[in-house]
Chain A
Amino acid sequence: MPEENSLSDYINKSNEITKVFNKKIRIALLSSFTINGLSEVLKVKSMERNISCVVYEAPYNQYSQEILNEKSDLYKFLPDITFLILDTRNIFGEIFRFPYSISHLERAKIVEKKVKEIKNLLNKYIENSNSKIVVTKLNIPSFSPNGIFESKTEYGFYNMIEDFNKQLTKNYLNSENIFIYDFDKFITKNGEDNVFNYTQFFFGDLKISIDFLPVLGQDLMKYVIGYLGITKKCIVLDLDNTLWGGIVGEDGFNGIKLGPEPPGNAFMEFQRVLLSLHQRGIILAINSKNNFEDAIKVIKEHPYMILKEEHFATMCINWNDKVSNMKEIVKEINIGSDSIVFIDDDPVNREFVKSIFPEILVVNLSDDPSSYVLEIENLIDFSVLKITNEDRNRGKMYLKQKKIIELEKTSTDLQTFLNQLDLKISIKDVNEFTLPRVSQLILKTNQFNLTTKRYQEIDIEKMIKDSNFIVTCVQVEDKFGDNGITGVFIIKKENEKEWRIDTFLMSCRIMGRDIEKGIMAHIINKAKENNIQKINADFIPTQKNKPVENFLSDHEFKKEGRSWTYKIKSKIKFPEYLRIEVE
C-alpha cells in the first residue's frame, strides 16, 4: 500500500482548516455509492498545496437527479470540477452477477443503452454548468462466472465493461470539459482485493475501502493541479548516485554504475522515465557538485547515458553550494521556483534547498536506486488537462534559449543584441487552434502578467464571441526559430472613447527582449485607428509579477486613482529591431 495517512487523520485535520488561501477550488462529488470521507481527504490535500477547497457532496446515488434538475443544489454550488464516481455493480445491476443469463446480443444492447444514459447526463451537465466533469471508467472485476473460458466468450462480461469504457472515452477525446478518469488503472495499481473490502461493502455499502479513500483522493488531486495550472514544469537533478551510481570524481568514467547490469540498469531506467517526461514538455536541468570535465565527459560520451547534453536546459556543474546553483538555474531558465522539482540522493542537500526554497518540491529519494523510478511515477505534480504543441517542443525551445544567452554574452550592448536576434512578432486574433495555448498561458503565467486574471477556456471563448472584447495572441520568432505563442492581451471596450487592458502577459521565455514595447505600440495604434482617446489599465501586484511593476509608467501611462491611463495623441513608432505582422 502506498504511504498514506489514515482516513481519520484526514477527517480530523479537515476540521481544523482555518487558513484561507488565494488559490481556490470548488469540487462537487457525485457517486453511485458511499464516498464519505473523500471530501475531507480532498480538503486536506488541497490545504497542503495552499489551496482552499470547498466540497459539495450530492446525496448518495442521486447523481442523475442532481444533473437532470437544473435547479438542484449541484448547479447552485457552481463547482469548478465535478467528479462522477461510478461503479460497475450499480451501472449493470443484476447483469453484474448474471451476465450469462442473457445472450451476447442482449449484453451489447445493454452496454449501448448504459453508455447513452451516461452520455446524456454528461452532455446535459456541461450545457448547464461551467464545471469540468471527470467521470470514472468502470472497473473490470477479476471474477467472471465463465472463469478461464471468459476470453473465449463472445462479447463476454469483461468485453461488456471494456466496451462501455471504450465508447465513453472515444466520445470525449477532444472535449474541453469532460474527462475520463481511469479508475480501472487505479484498481490495477492498488489491487482489487485491497480497494474493495467485502465486509465494508456489506456493512456500509463502501465500494472503496476506508484505507484506500486517501489513495484515491491523491489520484484525483491530479485534476485539481491540472485545473489550477499549478503543474511542475522543471526537474532539477543531481548527478552522482542520482543519474548514475557512484561518484564519478572518485570512481572514474569506467567505475560508475550505469549500464544493462544491476544496479546500473536501475539508473538507466530512471533516466528513461525522465526522458519520457522531457519529451512531453518537462524541462530538465542539472545541479551537481562535481568537476565539470568529469561530469560532462560522462554526459557526452558514456555509452549508457540515456539523457544527453541536449536534454538539459541548463547544467550547473561546479563546486558551488546547491542553493547558489539553484538560484542560478531559476534565473537562467526563467521560471518560478515553485514550478521546480528537485531530485538529489543526499538528504543534507535536500534539506538545504528546502530550507531556502520551501516552494520547491523536494523528492525524498530513498537509499535504494531500484525505487527511484516508482518515486517519479508516483508524483502527481506534472498533471495537465491538456498537452499543447508548445509543451512538446519545450525542450527544443530551451536549447534555443541557451544559444540566445550565448549571443547575449558576446553582444556589447542590448541594442546590438536585439538587432542581431532578428525578432519578428505576429499578432493574431485567438481562434479555436490557438485557444488551448492561450488558456494555458493565462492560467500559468506569473511573472510578466499585469493583472494575473485567470480564465478558463470557456471564459475566453465567451470573450472571443463578445464584440466588446479583443482577445489577441502574439507569436514570436527569432533567428534561432519559432518560440510559438508566447504573449496574450485582452482589451475590453469600455465605451466608444475608452479601452481597458484587461490582460497583458508574456511567457518568461521571451522576456528581456523588449517585445512588450512592440505589442504596446500595436495596441495604441489600433486604438487610434478606432478613434479611441484613452487606454486604461491596471497593475495588480502579486508576489511574482515584479517584472511588470514599472511597465505602465515606462509606457507613459499616468496613474489616475487606482487605475492607469494613457491619453492617445498620435500613432507611435514600432521599435526598429522588431518586425511586426498583424494577421
Chain B
Amino acid sequence: MSNKLYEIISTVMKIDISTISDELGPKTIENWTSFNGYVLLNELETGFNVKFTIDEAMDVKNIADIKRHLTNKGISLDE
C-alpha cells in the first residue's frame, strides 16, 4: 500500500502508520476534526498533484473513500 498516502494521513492525523486501516474515519480518529479533514484533503492534493471536487470532498467518510477517489484519478496506490 502507498507509503505516501499513509505518511500524509499519519502526519495530519497524528496516528501511527501501522494503525491505519481502511475503515478509520472522523469517528475513530481523534484528530479527524472537520477542519483537519480539510487540511488532509489539501495535503493529499499537494502530495499527489490532484484536485478533489466538492462532491468527492464531501463523500470522504473514511480512509477507503480517500483511496477510491485517488484511484479514480489514476493514482496507483499499490507500491
| Chain A residues proximal to chain B, CB less than 8 Å | 6-9, 11-12, 15, 34, 36-37, 199-200, 202-204, 206, 209-211
Contact = CB atoms under 8 A, between A and B. Distances in A.
Contact of A204 (B12, B14, B35, B53): B35
A36 B54 contact: no
B49 interface: no
B57 A37 contact: no
A37 B54 contact: no
A210 B39 contact: yes
Nearest to B35: A36
B8 to A, nearest CB: 8
B58 interface: yes
Contacts of A203: 38, 54, 57-58
B43 interface: yes
Contact of B39 (A7, A199, A202): A7
Given A199-B52, A211-B46, A11 B39 contact: yes
Contacts of B46: 6, 211
17 contacts: A7-B42, A8-B12, A8-B39, A8-B43, A9-B11, A11-B39, A12-B11, A12-B14, A37-B35, A199-B52, A199-B54, A200-B38, A200-B42, A203-B58, A204-B35, A210-B38, A211-B42
A34 B38 CA distance: 12
B34 A210 contact: no
Instruction: Give the size category of B's interface with A.
Output: 10 to 19
Closest 6 CB pairs of A and B: A36-B35, A210-B42, A8-B12, A204-B38, A8-B39, A203-B57
Contacts of A199: 51-54, 57
Interface in B1-23: 11-12, 14
A210 B53 CA distance: 16
A36 B37 CA distance: 12
Contacts of B39: 7-8, 11, 37, 210
Contacts of B58: 203
Contacts of A9: 11
Interface string B35-75: 11011101100100001111001100000000000000000
Contacts of B51: 199
B52 to A, nearest CB: 7
A337 B43 CA distance: 39
B34 A6 contact: no
Contacts of B54: 199, 202-203
A211 to B, nearest CB: 7
A211 B41 CA distance: 12
A126 to B, nearest CB: 31
Nearest to A210: B42
A11 B13 CA distance: 10
A550 B73 CA distance: 72
A301 to B, nearest CB: 52
A117 to B, nearest CB: 29
Contacts of B34: 204
Contacts of A200: 38, 42
Contacts of A8: 11-12, 39-40, 43
A264 B39 CA distance: 44
A210 B12 CA distance: 13
A223 to B, nearest CB: 24
A214 to B, nearest CB: 12
A12 B11 CA distance: 8
A203 B55 CA distance: 9
A211 B36 CA distance: 13
Given A12-B14, A202-B54, 6 more contacts: A6-B46, A7-B39, A8-B40, A15-B14, A200-B38, A210-B39
B38 to A, nearest CB: 5
A360 B63 CA distance: 46
A521 B65 CA distance: 79
Contacts of A7: 39, 42
Contacts of A12: 11, 14
B57 A6 contact: no
